[in-house]
Amino acid sequence: MSDSSVESRAEEKLMPVTRIFELLFVLLLTASCVWMERKPPQTGAPEGEAVAVEPSMSRPAGQSVPKTDSPDAKTLAKVSASPVPAEQTRKKENATPGLGKPGVPPLDLTALETRLKETKAIGVFTKITLKNQVDDLLDQFRAYYQGRSKISLAELRQSYDMLLLKVLSLLQDGDPSLARMVVASREAIWGILADPAKFATL
């Protein structure tokens, strides 16, 4: 018997084993892909958790949001503790109306802005559209404070709430933790917008 025939017989015997390995490999790949699809996006929040948005029109301007012991508050504190450049720190100091008061989560506009920019829950075109609408609202506030506008503060509040609801509807499924961060910052941001002195620092 020649060497080549021995080799080919050995290959024939090994063929089913290699097929099994190939099949196993493909099965493992499929399983890993299914697992990746099932993985919740970017957050530690439980799957399917809804973000509750309370109507805030009845709340007076500048009033704080009550403190919660949710994991989000811890996340917010962690984000606030992260090192930021000097200019950003100065901006942050100006934009922390609730700081120092007990029961008020600190507002970190820079962190919020960064997270909104980086979130994958909102597409690029949507982000640009939202930014356009935020700029429009800021222009309306500017006109209001300069006496160039007939819009009242109540109407501005309505526009602000509407814009925030749009942001929340976009975030609540894809990035629930960021949605909660926005909800928690809602009144603090309004506190800045509704105060001409604070608004001027923006």
Whole-number minimum distance, CB 13 to other proteins, in Å? Answer: 15
Answer yes or no whether residue 134 interacts with other proteins by CB under 8 A.
Answer: no
Cα–Cα distance, 106 to 65 (Å, whole number): 10
Q: Which is nearer to other proteins, 37 or 87 (CB)?
A: 37
**Does residue 141 contact residue 156 with C-beta atoms inside 8 Å?**
yes
**H-type helices in the chain, by residue range?**
3-38, 71-81, 86-94, 109-118, 124-145, 153-171, 176-193, 196-200
- Integer-rounded Cα radius of gyration of the chain: 27
**Does residue 183 contact residue 76 with C-beta atoms inside 8 Å?**
no
Answer yes or no whether residue 63 interacts with other proteins by CB under 8 A.
Answer: no
Answer yes or no whether residue 142 interacts with other proteins by CB under 8 A.
Answer: no
Answer yes or no whether residue 53 interacts with other proteins by CB under 8 A.
Answer: no
| Candidate ranges 80-88, 117-125, 149-157, 176-184; the one touching other proteins (CB under 8 A) | 117-125
Q: Tell which positions 27-46 bind other proteins, by CB under 8 A.
A: 29, 33
Q: Which spans of this chain sit near other proteins (rule: CB under 8 A)?
A: 22, 26, 29, 33, 122-126, 128-130, 132-133, 166, 170
